[in-house]
Structure 1
Amino acid sequence: MYASKDSYVSRFDEELISAAGEVFTMLADVTRIKIILALSARDELSVGALAEIVERRPPAVSQHLAKMRMLKMVVRRQEGTSVYYQLADEHALALVREALNQAEHTLVEAGQTPTHHTSKN
């Protein structure tokens, strides 16, 4: 069996593990993944700009952002009637990048090496 020195695993902090499950649930939506990737490429974006980038209607993007704010993945700044969003920290992006790396394994042909193993990122 896999033995971990990770303190999270050894103590099974139920509240923390439950919260981690909520994070994965939040990231199980393609639109939210696109929002995180879009925000990682810019300092901040308005709802309208994000909607255009992720090809969704602004009200739908607003709803996604509200949920992401509840889990502290994004933060907002209001300027007049405009609202701008940015990633709260690097953690959501790191999870998305790892998920994309894992997903790449499912898409490559048997015997091929995923590009993230060969490229220098």
Structure 2
Amino acid sequence: MKVSNALLEEAVKIYKVLSNINRIKILYFLENNEADVSSIVAHVELPQPMVSHQLAILYRYQLVTKNKKGTHVYYCLDDPHILEMVDAMLGHVSHEIKGEPHPYSHTEQHSNK
């Protein structure tokens, strides 16, 4: 894949969106749930205005979708691949914390040849 500056700049914007713990909590909650704001508020235990603000940012970057049903707006995860990326980062962090080598690390690949 050829990586252009424009593509890198968009990726950096998504990384900035994901740099907020509350947004990641919301994304994980929505992984298997379609939920309205009050359900998300109850699950992530944050004030409603904060949850609404975070959802607006996630929606702007196409990480969640929204669907109005009556007077309620329901949100769901738009791109499950985004959580695969977060899972990969959490795996990286868990190895760092434990001081263990990463599976398939560059040094492991060379030592197995």
In which range does the TM-score fall when normalised by the shorter chain?
0.7 to 0.9
1:113 shift after superposition: 8.1
Gaps of 5+ in 1: 1-6, 115-121
1:91 shift after superposition: 1.9
- The structure-2 alpha-carbon separation of the partners of 1:104 and 1:111, relative to structure 1 and needing over 3 Å to count, comes to closer
- The structure-2 alpha-carbon separation of the partners of 1:105 and 1:59, relative to structure 1 and needing over 3 Å to count, comes to same
Gaps of 5+ in 2: 104-113
The residue aligned with 1:71 is: 61
Of residues 96-105 and 68-77 in structure 1, the stretch that sits farther from structure 2 once superposed is 96-105
- Identity between Structure 1 and Structure 2 (%): 30
Task: Give the aligned length.
Answer: 103
The residue aligned with 1:93 is: 83
- The structure-2 alpha-carbon separation of the partners of 1:113 and 1:72, relative to structure 1 and needing over 3 Å to count, comes to closer
- Structure-1-length-normalised TM-score: 0.77
- Structure-2-length-normalised TM-score: 0.82
Structure 1 residue identity aligned to 2:84: A
1:92 shift after superposition: 1.5
Q: CA RMSD in A?
A: 1.8
- The structure-2 alpha-carbon separation of the partners of 1:15 and 1:81, relative to structure 1 and needing over 3 Å to count, comes to same
> How far apart, CA to CA, are the structure 2 residues paired with 1:58 and 1:85?
14
- The structure-2 alpha-carbon separation of the partners of 1:35 and 1:111, relative to structure 1 and needing over 3 Å to count, comes to closer
The residue aligned with 1:24 is: 15
1:23 shift after superposition: 0.5
What do residues 38-65 of structure 1 show as CA deviations (whole Å, max 9, x unaligned)? 01132x0111111111110111111101
